[in-house]
């Protein structure tokens, strides 16, 4: 039996915090004190710090000197730039996939959409995450890992933006649009694929309105997300 190399704790913390942010359990502006997080996850500040550092590099977290880390609050200008770049990169993804996506690739997209359908309307946070992961999966199928990494980063930052500037994350329509994208790829129709992706991203970006603030209960959130760690 191969001795599976266990994941380093900093990565676990990183992963869980990231998911909590993307699923909007931790909302923009929320404080992220090192000792509170470390205590919940049963690790020292050292490893929490590493995780926060990575999240900061990805733009999901902002840290202020001697003040600590906070879930990032992108300005409207940043939000526009992020959407712009996402658009540029996802267009590139589609262009590549229309040319050379494999049957296996199409199947994995189908499988993902089926998953999305399954949680449709049931679980808000999870459906938010799955909707984003559809785009990440597309980018991965492009075969260029750099492109995939950038898209993943931008998609996750978009979750943050929607949390700030849209009233509700109505991802119901998204599933149908995702199906349309798959169909266009299957048809090998570049114009159609590009048009649908443009519309889809436009729809996502269009949900930008102002939303009211809502306080988080950090401990409760961490307890929920930390279960995986202590178990």
List residues binding a second copy (CB under 8 A).
5, 8, 50, 53-54, 57, 65, 78, 81-82, 84-85, 88, 92, 144-147, 150, 154
Specify the stretch interacting with DNA by CB under 7 A; choose among 17-25, 35-43, 140-148, 214-222.
35-43
CB of 213 to DNA, least distance (A): 16
How far is it, in rounded angstroms, from Cα 92 to Cα 72? 27
CB of 58 to a second copy, least distance (A): 8
Q: Please report whether residue 63 would count as binding DNA according to CB under 7 A.
A: yes
Q: Please report whether residue 45 would count as binding DNA according to CB under 7 A.
A: yes
How far is it, in rounded angstroms, from Cα 84 to Cα 214? 28
- From a second copy, DNA, none, interface partner of 202 (C-beta below 5 to 8 A by class): none
What is the helix (H) or strand (E) element at residue 68, kind and residue range?
Answer: strand 68-71
CB crowding 151-164: b at 16 or more within 10 Å, else e: bbbbbbbbbbbbbb
The residue among 89 and 113 lying less far from a second copy, judged by its C-beta, is 89
Give yes or no for a contact between 61 and 14, defined as CB atoms under 8 angstroms apart: no
């Amino acid at each position: 039996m191969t001795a599976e190399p266990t994941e380093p704790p900093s990565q676990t913390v990183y992963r869980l915090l990231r998911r909590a942010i993307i699923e909007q359990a931790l909302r923009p502006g929320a404080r992220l004190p090192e000792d509170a997080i470390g205590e919940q996850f049963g690790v020292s500040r050292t490893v929490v710090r590493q995780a926060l550092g990575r999240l900061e590099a990805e733009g999901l977290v902002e840290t202020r000197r001697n003040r600590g880390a906070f879930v990032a609050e992108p300005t409207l200008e940043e939000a526009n730039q992020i959407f712009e770049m996402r658009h540029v990169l996802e267009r590139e993804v589609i262009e590549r996939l229309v040319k050379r996506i494999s049957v296996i690739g199409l199947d994995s997209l189908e499988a993902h959409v089926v998953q999305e359908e399954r949680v449709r309307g049931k679980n808000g946070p999870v459906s938010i995450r799955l909707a984003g992961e559809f785009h990440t999966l597309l980018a991965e199928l492009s075969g260029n890992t750099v492109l995939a990494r950038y898209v993943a980063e931008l998609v996750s930052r978009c979750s943050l933006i929607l949390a700030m500037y849209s009233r509700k994350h109505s991802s119901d329509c998204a599933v149908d649009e995702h199906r349309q994208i798959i169909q266009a790829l299957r048809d090998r129709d570049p114009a159609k694929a590009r048009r649908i992706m443009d519309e889809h991203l436009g729809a996502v970006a269009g949900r930008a309105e102002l939303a009211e603030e809502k306080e988080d209960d950090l401990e409760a959130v961490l307890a929920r997300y930390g279960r995986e760690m202590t178990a």
